Structure 1
């Protein structure tokens, strides 16, 4: 099974290194020397990591198949994926692969059925669960302890602490503004 582990950015230097926007909690494992990744190009390519290093907070990767800057520029903006075993789990028990979360039943802290997780959206500041509500529309819920106090992959559910407007955008509280307030 392929999982997304990063997106290739601009070339670095003249020897074929590229910056990688990391999309995995295990970059040292996914971009270890000798590991392979598959590109998202129209014609996917397998690339072998020759070396990787951190430079100014950015992961730089040299692929064996990329000899120079010109070849590195051809990879810009491609998503890279790693092959993982179907049964593999992250080392940290509080981390999950997207595929483990998609399909989980969602219920509120009151036990009310609230829908199903249909996607995980990764943002720079936090991850969001996309939840299809019973009425058919979808909402986004930040994957933080305050809003998702319980998540049990083995039992197939996630609990959401509903707040006004979170699961039902129409039910959001409207805060009146004072006249003349900017």
Structure 2
């Protein structure tokens, strides 16, 4: 299985180093010296990591055969792809690879179906599940402990406890329940 583990950013300095936007929780394993990575676009690779270091909070990599700034800048926006055994699991039991989460059913704690995870968006602040609803619409669910209560890989589902308003139906149900109670109150007041 192929997983995107980083995206190459700007060249750094004049000796072929590049900044990298890390997209893996295991950069020391996936992006360490000697790692051979496929690329997208494919013509840019494969690339072998010669060295890596952290500078001002950013990971810098140098690849074999990339010796100057021009060669490094030519790699900008290239995705780095690692081959991963599909049975391999992250060391931390609270972490998941994207391929483990794709196509999970998303349900509320009471079992109400919300949809299916079709995409995972990795943002700087948090990850988001892009969930396709049964009607074809999409909803974004932040992948944070306060909302995603449980990931059950055996049952192929993610149980969520969303705050009011996160999922359109929840807000509509609350509003319709309030409207019907107001209608009932208005009716009883009219009959008085």
Give your verdict on TM over 0.5. Answer: yes
* Alpha-carbon separation, structure 2, partners of 1:43 and 1:169: 46
Give unmatched runs, 5+ long, in structure 2: 176-192
* Alpha-carbon separation, structure 2, partners of 1:155 and 1:131: 17
The alignment partner of 2:43 has SS state of coil
What corresponds to 2:34 in structure 1? 34
More helix by proportion, 1 or 2?
2
Is the 1:131–1:139 Cα contact (8 Å) retained in structure 2? yes
Q: CA deviation at 1:145?
A: 1.2
* Alpha-carbon separation, structure 1, partners of 2:29 and 2:102: 24
> Quick check: 1:109 aligned with 2:106?
no
Q: C-alpha deviations, 1:62-95, integer Å up to 9, x for none?
A: 1002121111010011111111111111111111
The alignment partner of 1:70 has SS state of helix
The alignment partner of 2:111 has SS state of coil
Q: C-alpha deviations, 1:38-70, integer Å up to 9, x for none?
A: 221153510000010111101010100212111
What RMSD over aligned residues (CA atoms) do the two structures have, in Å? 1.8
Q: CA deviation at 1:115?
A: 1.1
What corresponds to 1:50 in structure 2? 50
The alignment partner of 1:7 has SS state of strand
TM score, norm. by length of structure 2: 0.85
- The range that moved more, 99-108 or 33-42, is 33-42
Q: C-alpha deviations, 1:111-130, integer Å up to 9, x for none?
A: 11221111111100000111
* Alpha-carbon separation, structure 2, partners of 1:108 and 1:115: 10
Is the 1:149–1:161 Cα contact (8 Å) retained in structure 2? yes
Q: Please give the residue correspondences for 1:1-182 in structure 2 after superposition, counting only pairs within 5 Å.
A: 1-41=1-41, 43-168=43-168, 171=171
* Alpha-carbon separation, structure 1, partners of 2:92 and 2:69: 36
* Alpha-carbon separation, structure 2, partners of 1:36 and 1:117: 30
Q: CA deviation at 1:109?
A: 1.1
* Alpha-carbon separation, structure 2, partners of 1:122 and 1:138: 17
TM score, norm. by length of structure 1: 0.89
